[in-house]
Amino acid sequence: MLPAYLEYYKPTSLYEAVALFQELKRANKQPMYFSGGTEVLTLGRLNMDTPGSIIDIKGIPECITLERTTQFLTIGASVPLTVIEADDSFPLLANVSSEIADRTARNKITIGGNICGKIFYREAVLPFLIADSHLLIASLQGVHQIPINVIFNKELVLEEGQLLVNIRTESHFLNNPFISQKIRKQWETGYPLITGAAMKVDGALRIAFSGICPFPFRSPAMEKEINNTTLSIESRIENAINHLPEPILDDIEGSREYRLFVLRNLLTDFLLEMEGYNG
């Protein structure tokens, strides 16, 4: 359960937020950065995450920005998924985000909360992995921009007290040909059996997945096989599957064998759809 007494803070600057985290940590008040709050409530009810204090980052301008220039799209960590859908500056991201939970939940779920969350699906990260986005990370030492494919390895690898501020994507990625699918075992909302996202970049297909493993991922080794057009589609898919990271999930949502069956079908759909583009 959530504690009966929970200290709440709402800083207005990045330095104030990261300094406050360290101060609360020294006072043994179990601080946690807070944005949408859906996961805090969910895990708190399950006694899986019980902070003693929360630091609401929605009052920090850099965390609530949503800005597109000729060079970049910048999305603050506290921007809700429904706002990203409505803005639609990055259509692949809007498509993937629109399939997360239901609309009521997406009004609260933020892009940073989904990417940093402890629930391992983290589907909203897939388009950013594909587009080589950069993350702005704040700490007491200042702010640093880091490529997502450097700092995201199965999860966002942050030191305690570091804060995801915003995500920057180069504009030339935003409107490339793309496809995404979320396959569920049942119901119209809920966790995915597999979510896949793909984009054509400079004539080659980039792919990323959530749900096949207990972490989201993009695999250059799989992409190399998928883009080997000297082979048949079936051979390309089988060779790509041989490069899947382990473990492959085998749980109540679906067995390992069923997930692989679904993945083969999904990759077939992706290739048949995207091979029609010329890059």
Final residue before a domain boundary, out of 120, 153, 173: 173
DSSP state of 254: B
Q: Which residues pair with 74 in a beta bridge?
A: 67, 168
Nearby residues of 100 by Cβ (< 8 Å), 6 or more positions away: 81, 106, 109, 114, 123, 124
The pLDDT, as a whole number, for residue 190 is 59
The pLDDT, as a whole number, for residue 4 is 55
Same domain, 15 and 87: no
Domain count, the chain: 3
Same domain, 66 and 158: yes
Same domain, 45 and 99: no
The range of the structural domain enclosing residue 129 comes to: 62-173
Same domain, 37 and 70: no
106: its two tokens = 């997406």
Same domain, 67 and 50: no
Say yes or no to pLDDT of 46 above 50.
no
Which range among 36-40, 63-67, 131-135 shows the weakest confidence by mean pLDDT? 36-40
Same domain, 31 and 102: no
Find the mean pLDDT for residues 224-235: 97
Same domain, 215 and 155: no
pTM (two decimals): 0.93
Find the mean pLDDT for residues 18-39: 89
Most confident segment among 34-38, 44-48, 71-75: 71-75
Same domain, 125 and 187: no
Nearby residues of 10 by Cβ (< 8 Å), 6 or more positions away: 55, 56, 58, 59
CATH of residue 188's domain is 3.30.390.50
Same domain, 138 and 207: no
State how far the alpha carbon of 126 is from the alpha carbons of 157, 198, 211, 216, in Å: 16, 9, 11, 7
